[in-house]
Amino acid sequence: MSSQLKKAAKESLSGRWGFAVLAFLLFSIIQGVPNLFGSDIDEPSSSIDLVVSLVSILLIPVGVGWTWIAMSIARGEETKVTDLFEPYGMFLKVVGLAIVQFIFIALWTLLLIIPGIIKSFSYLLTYYILRDEPSIGILEAITRSRQLMDGHKMEAFLLFLSFIGWALLVIVTLGLAVLWVGPYFSVTLAKFYDRIRGEQAPEQTSDFVAPY
């Protein structure tokens, strides 16, 4: 399955590598902004930590924007670099979703490390779902992701493992290869989501289902 998804990702990236690398580079530069504040050693560490945390929260939508660009590439849709900032149109929901996921994963991790890792895979598809269903609520998006990932977490884990060699290439090239590996990995994950979504229609039920 992993090889098929990766092959499909390469096909979607064919002819669009230049755009994908440019968008990923901009995304990476923006995500590195919080590190600039950490370099000011003249300020108290508590003040620096607060600033870094606030800036990191403000930049969460950019990471989501990159995920959505990868989805567009995977689907052969038109997209542009400025789509990185599209999630700011639903800033509170995007940030709220990140915070709730963090809390859930942290609580599971308090029990044992393994349950926390498993839950992180359960929530893997939340932002993909949000892009397809922008009116969905935070807890509903998490619940939908958990339902879609039911029976597919091992597939996702093996898909991640299949990129270990590429991760080593990034290390060997002192990070340079990430400009190609990043888009490749992200588009492959988008292909994974579309395949899972195609296999299992969202459950429509009036019964409450716990998101965690």
pLDDT per residue over 68-77, tens digit each? 999 999 999 9
What is the reported pTM? 0.88
Does residue 92 form part of some domain? yes
Task: Report the interhelical angle of 178-199 vs 60-74 (nearest 10°).
Answer: 70
Instruction: Find the domain containing 127 and state its range.
Output: 2-198
CA 139: distance to chain centroid?
Answer: 17
Cβ 129 vs Cβ 136: under 8 Å: yes
Does residue 31 form part of some domain? yes
Nearest 5°: CA angle at 192, between 189 and 194? 115
> 42-66 pLDDT, tens per residue?
555 677 778 888 999 999 999 999 9
Does residue 211 form part of some domain? no
Cβ-proximal residues to 188 (8 Å cutoff; 6+ apart), any chain: 5, 6, 8, 9, 159, 163
The number of distinct structural domains making up the chain is 1
Place of tokens 């002192």: 174
Does residue 90 form part of some domain? yes
> 160-174 pLDDT, tens per residue?
999 999 999 999 999
